[in-house]
Amino acid sequence: MKKFLAISITVIVVALFLFCYWRYYWVYGEGVKAGQLNYVMKKGFVFKTYEGRLIQAGFQANTSGAIQSYEFRFSVTNESVANKLMLNSGKDFEVHYKEYMGTLPWRGTSVFIVDSILSMKESKSGNVLPLNP
């Protein structure tokens, strides 16, 4: 009976570990989004995280007669990327992100985590500004 209990507990612990890894650490998808940066801010009570919103060009109507803008809400874990975004609010950005299945309090409130900036340009002039890697 003790052997059965030990094997059962081991299987449950391994299954729980695999579930948590799949849910919170496995990258479900990744991609690139482009749009005008609305804001990035640091917020939180216990875990201070960087949260932002990118407004994409165009409108989409989910139902007839309704208009909804494209918004990309994201979190940033890298402080240098967050600072670069905060200093350039209102400019057009192209950012790379990773999508997870679930959120963690120390990673942010969004399943979309921006990890790098691919390009940045002024919204009106269209001149591309170089980024230092």
Q: What is the pLDDT of residues 6-19, one digit of tens each?
A: 999 999 999 999 99
Taking the C-alpha atoms of residue 100 and residue 24, their distance in angstroms, rounded to an integer, is: 6
Q: Is the pTM of this model over 0.85?
A: no
Tokens encoding 71 = 């918004």
Q: Where are the domains of the chain?
A: 28-123
Q: What is the pLDDT of residues 74-100, one digit of tens each?
A: 999 999 999 999 999 889 999 999 999
Taking the C-alpha atoms of residue 86 and residue 78, their distance in angstroms, rounded to an integer, is: 12
Share of the chain above pLDDT 70, in %: 83
Taking the C-alpha atoms of residue 10 and residue 12, their distance in angstroms, rounded to an integer, is: 5
Q: What fold characterizes domain 28-123?
A: OB fold (Dihydrolipoamide Acetyltransferase, E2P) (2.40.50)
pLDDT at 87: 93
Q: What is the pLDDT of residues 98-128, one digit of tens each?
A: 999 999 999 999 999 999 999 999 876 455 5
